[in-house]
Structure 1
Amino acid sequence: MSTYVKPVAPTEGRLGHLTPEQTEKLQQFWVRLYDIFDGKTAFDQTAPSSFKGQNRDDDAAAPAPVQKAGWFGRGKSSASLTGSEKAAAPAPRFSGADIYKAFWKLTMMDHPDLLVLKFIRARKWNLDDAMKMFLNALKWRIVERLDELVELSDVELDAKYPKFLEQMRVGKGYLRGADDLNRPMSIVNTRLHLKADQPPETIHRFTLHTMECGRMVLPQGAETVVVIFDLSDFGLQNMDWGFVRLFVQCFESYYPETLGVCIVHRAPFVFWGLWKLIQPLLDPVVASKFVFTRNNEELHKIIPRERLPIKHYNGLDDWTYEYVPAQEGENDHMKDVGKKEELLQERHALETRFDIATRSWIKQGDQAEERDGIAKELREQYARLCPYVRAANLYQRWGVTVNGQVNWTYNLKSE
C-alpha cells in the first residue's frame, strides 16, 4: 500500500523546463519521427500486439479486436481465435503517411512537443524505446478506430454498440471536477455494473470514449488526470480482469504520463485478495500512483472537499450526476461540408508550417519561438474546428468545455 504525498506541479523534463541535453534529445526524436513520416526509415508496419482481428463488417484497414474484454467479461485471446476468425481479418500494415495522419489527429489542441515528451519520459529518455512505444500507440489508435468515438453522437454510438447510452445514464463512469492541481477527475462506480448487462464490446468502447473525453477536459497547463475507483458495495460480481488489463495497458502504453494518481476508495475486504493479483501486473511507476482511502475523511486529504459532491463523498459540492441527452441541432456544424473542408485546409496549413519550423529548429537551433507560436495557433484553430469534426458530448452540454476552454463549476454549500 502506497502513502500519498501531497503533489506539486512537476516541471522536470516538461515543456518549458527542458535542460540543453533534454532539448537535444527532443530534437533527435523529431529527426527520427520525420524520417518515418517521409518514408526514409523502415519501421515495424504491422498492427500492435493487441490487435486480434475482427468478425464484423467494418473496414479491414481499421479494425477492432474481436470480443474484446470489457469491464466485466473476458475476451478471447489471439491464441483462442478460430482459423476462420483469424482469416476474416488480416492484420493491417501502416505507411509513414498513415503514421503522420494519426499523429496530427492525436495532437488536437496540444503542443506537439508535449505529446512526444510524454513518451520520451515514459521510456526514461531512451529514444529507441520511446519511438517504438510512440509508433505502437499511433497504430493502436488506428486499429481501435478512436475517430468514431468522437465523430459519432451518443445516439449513433448507442445504435452501433447496444446499451452504450445506458452506461452514461446510470453514471457508471464519468468526469467531474478537478483537484487542487487542476487535474480533471474520473469517477468509476464499480457497484453499478454487472457483466451480463451489456456486450463486452460496448463497455470497451465506452471506456475508450471516456478516455478521449478526458483529453478534452484537460485545461492548458495540466497533463495528468485523477482516477477515483469507488469500490463502495463492491463484490466479486463486479470484478473484471478484462478492464484491469485495459486500464493498465492504456495508462502504461497508449496514454503514458497521463495518470496523476489512482485513488481506490472504500475497498472492501474481498478486494485485497484481488489486489495481490493485480499489483504484479503494474509497471512500478504506475503502481506508485495508486493510493487507498478507507473513508471520506481520508479522501478529503487528497481531494479538497469543495471539489467533491455531498452525496457519497461528504463533500461541499451540491451536485448529483445526471446524464443530459443530446440536444436538437447540436451537431449541425458537422453537416456543413464546405466550412469543415475550409477549416481542415487551414489546419493542414498550420501543420505544414509547424513541420517547416521544426525541421529548421533541428538543423539550426532557431525557430523555437516560432514553433511555440504556431502551437498556440493550432490550439486556437482546433477550438474552431472542433464542432465540425467532433460530435457534441456530455461535457459540452454540462458547459464544462466551451470554445476550447475548460470550466468546472461547483455548487458550494457551507458545512
Structure 2
Amino acid sequence: MSLSPTYVQPVIPTEGRLGHLNQEQIEKLKQFWERLYDIFDGKTPFDQTAPSSFKGQARDEEGDGAPAQKSGWFGRSKSASETNTAPVAPRFTGKDLYKTFWKLTMMDHPDLIVLKFIRARKWVLDDALKMFLNALKWRIVERLDELVELSDEELDAKYPKFIEQMRIGKGYLRGADPLGRPMSVVNTRLHHKADQPAETIHRFTLYTMECGRTVLPVGSETVIVIFDLSNFGLDNMDWGFVRLFVQCFESYYPETLGVCVVHRAPFVFWGLWKLIQPLLDPVVATKFVFTRNNAELHKVIPRERLPITHYEGLDDWKYQYVPASEGENDCMKDLPKKEELLNERQALETKFDVMTRAWIKEAGGKNSDERDEIAKELREQYTRLSPYVRAVNLYKRWGVAVGGEVNWTYNVKAEE
C-alpha cells in the first residue's frame, strides 16, 4: 500500500547512534562506561543528593505545578549552621544507581541508553555523566517502579481518577509512523486541572512515558507527540504538566522526542507559546511542528496511520479503554518463577558487565560483537521476565506490545 501523496517522510539521523559510531565516538563511549563503573563500584565520589532540578520541589495541592513554599519531596535543605548537627547522610549510593540503571535498560541495548545522554550533552562526558546520574536519581525519587508494577486498579486506588484519564482518552499511545516511531496523542480539550489531583496527572504522564518505551520497536529511538489543541481554551492550560513535559524530554528521557506536533492551535495559544518557548532547550524547540489543519498534519503523519474520525485519516479506529480482566497479572504472584527469571537476568547483566570492563581496556576504537550478542540475550530474556515484573497495561490488552513484539494494526479504508 502506498502512503498518502502529501506525506513527507523525514530522514532520521544516524550520526552518533548505535551501530553508526566512528572510532573516536567508540573511545568516548568506553570512557563513559569506565567512569560509570567507577561510580557504581564506589571508587569515585559523586553528588549523592537529589539534583537541584527537583530537590524540594513539591507539586502543590492546587495543582499548578509551582514549587511549594514549604517542604517538598525531600523537605527544605538546611545547612549545618542552621541545624547544629552533622550533615545528612548521603541519599544515593553507587549500588542504588547501578540497580536503577539495569531497571531502566529493560529490553534495550545498554549502549543505546547511555548514548542518548552522551549525544544530548554534545559528547562532553562530564556533562553527560552528571545528566545521566541525575536521571537515575530522578527515577528513584519518582518511584517509577510502581508505575509498571501496579495494576490499573491499584494505581487508581493510590492516585484518584487515574483510570478516568484513560477512560476518557485524555492521553494515549496509538500507532507509529512509517519509521516505527510510536505516536502519543494528548487531547488537551479533555483536560481541566481541577477535575483530578495534580499528583494524578503527574503520575499518569510518567506512566504514559514508561508505556511508550515498551512500544518502541528495535531500531527506533524516538516518539512523536501530538498535542491536539482543538477547542483549546485557557481553562485547559496546565503549567505543571508543561513543565513536566519539558523536563522529561530535556533531562530524563533525552534524545527521545522525534517530533512534537502542535495541532490546530487557536489564537489564545500563541500568547502562551511566547511563555513556553523560552523554557525549551534550543534542540528540543526545533522538534516542534505546528499544523493548522488536518491537511498539514497529513504531511507529518500519513493518512493511513490517522483515524478517520477527527483527523480525516484512513484508519477506521476509535479510542476505547479496555479494562483489566480477572487474573491477567497472575504471573506476578508466581514468586518461585519470578525469582528464577530475576536470577537469570542478573547473570546476564553480570556477563555484560564483565565483557564491558574487558572491552574498555582494549586498545583501538573497535566495537564489541560479544557485547552486542549479550545485549540481544538481555532483550530476549526480558520478554520472558516482563510478565512477572510488569503489570498488564492497556497496550498489552490491545495486543500491541506482547512477547517483545510491537504490532500496531490499521483498518485502512479506501480513499474516496
The TM-score, its normalising length taken from structure 1, stands at: 0.92
State whether residues 189 and 232 of structure 2, in contact with CA within 8 Å, keep that contact through their aligned partners in structure 1. yes
Select 1:66's aligned residue among 58, 61, 77: 58
1:198-246 CA-to-partner distances (Å, cap 9, x unmatched) read 0000000000000000000000000000000000000000011111110
Q: State the distance in 2 between where 1:20 and 1:93 align.
A: 37
Instruction: State the 1:50 CA deviation.
Output: 3.8
Q: Counterpart amino acid of 2:141?
A: V
Q: State the distance in 1 between where 2:150 and 2:142 align.
A: 14
Question: 2:11 aligned with 1:11, yes or no?
Answer: no
Equivalence for 2:232: 234
Select 2:113's aligned residue among 107, 112, 115: 115
Instruction: State the 1:49 CA deviation.
Output: 2.1
Equivalence for 1:96: 94
Q: Counterpart amino acid of 1:255?
A: Y
2:300 aligned counterpart, secondary structure: coil
Equivalence for 2:50: 47
Q: State the distance in 1 between where 2:332 and 2:9 align.
A: 43
Instruction: State the 1:273 CA deviation.
Output: 0.7
Equivalence for 1:86: 75
**Structure 1 gaps, min length 5:** 54-64
Q: Counterpart amino acid of 1:344?
A: L
State whether residues 46 and 91 of structure 1, in contact with CA within 8 Å, keep that contact through their aligned partners in structure 2. no
Select 1:207's aligned residue among 197, 205, 208: 205
State whether residues 107 and 379 of structure 2, in contact with CA within 8 Å, keep that contact through their aligned partners in structure 1. yes
Instruction: State the 1:9 CA deviation.
Output: 2.5
Equivalence for 1:322: 320
State whether residues 357 and 367 of structure 1, in contact with CA within 8 Å, keep that contact through their aligned partners in structure 2. no
Equivalence for 2:384: 384
Question: 2:401 aligned with 1:398, yes or no?
Answer: no
Q: Counterpart amino acid of 1:66?
A: A
Instruction: State the 1:81 CA deviation.
Output: 1.1
Question: 2:161 aligned with 1:169, yes or no?
Answer: no
Select 2:311's aligned residue among 306, 313, 317: 313
Cα 1:84–1:248 change in 2 (3 A) is: closer
Q: Counterpart amino acid of 1:245?
A: R
Equivalence for 2:243: 245
Instruction: State the 1:39 CA deviation.
Output: 0.4
1:292 aligned counterpart, secondary structure: strand
Cα 1:5–1:117 change in 2 (3 A) is: farther
State whether residues 8 and 181 of structure 1, in contact with CA within 8 Å, keep that contact through their aligned partners in structure 2. no
Count of residue pairs the alignment pairs up: 398
Q: State the distance in 1 between where 2:146 and 2:89 align.
A: 20
Q: State the distance in 1 between where 2:134 and 2:26 align.
A: 23
Equivalence for 2:217: 219
Q: State the distance in 2 between where 1:392 and 1:91 align.
A: 38
Equivalence for 1:368: 368
Equivalence for 2:291: 293
2:318 aligned counterpart, secondary structure: coil
Cα 1:397–1:362 change in 2 (3 A) is: same
Q: Counterpart amino acid of 1:384?
A: R
Equivalence for 2:129: 131
Instruction: State the 1:77 CA deviation.
Output: 1.4
Instruction: State the 1:25 CA deviation.
Output: 0.2
Question: 2:103 aligned with 1:105, yes or no?
Answer: yes
Cα 1:285–1:185 change in 2 (3 A) is: same
Select 1:29's aligned residue among 32, 37, 51: 32
Q: State the distance in 1 between where 2:72 and 2:16 align.
A: 47
Q: State the distance in 1 between where 2:73 and 2:98 align.
A: 33
State whether residues 228 and 265 of structure 1, in contact with CA within 8 Å, keep that contact through their aligned partners in structure 2. yes
Cα 1:29–1:88 change in 2 (3 A) is: closer
Q: State the distance in 2 between where 1:13 and 1:33 align.
A: 19
Q: Counterpart amino acid of 1:81?
A: K
1:249-305 CA-to-partner distances (Å, cap 9, x unmatched) read 000000000000000000000001111111111000000000000000000011010
1:310-364 CA-to-partner distances (Å, cap 9, x unmatched) read 0110000000000000011110000000000000000000000000000111112
State whether residues 66 and 240 of structure 2, in contact with CA within 8 Å, keep that contact through their aligned partners in structure 1. no
Q: State the distance in 2 between where 1:270 and 1:92 align.
A: 47
2:290 aligned counterpart, secondary structure: strand
2:175 aligned counterpart, secondary structure: strand
State whether residues 224 and 257 of structure 1, in contact with CA within 8 Å, keep that contact through their aligned partners in structure 2. yes
Instruction: State the 1:7 CA deviation.
Output: 1.5
Instruction: State the 1:51 CA deviation.
Output: 3.6
Q: State the distance in 1 between where 2:341 and 2:220 align.
A: 27
State whether residues 47 and 92 of structure 1, in contact with CA within 8 Å, keep that contact through their aligned partners in structure 2. no
State whether residues 55 and 74 of structure 2, in contact with CA within 8 Å, keep that contact through their aligned partners in structure 1. no
State whether residues 177 and 183 of structure 2, in contact with CA within 8 Å, keep that contact through their aligned partners in structure 1. yes
Instruction: State the 1:82 CA deviation.
Output: 5.1
**Structure 2 gaps, min length 5:** 1-6, 79-87
State whether residues 334 and 389 of structure 1, in contact with CA within 8 Å, keep that contact through their aligned partners in structure 2. yes
Instruction: State the 1:46 CA deviation.
Output: 0.2
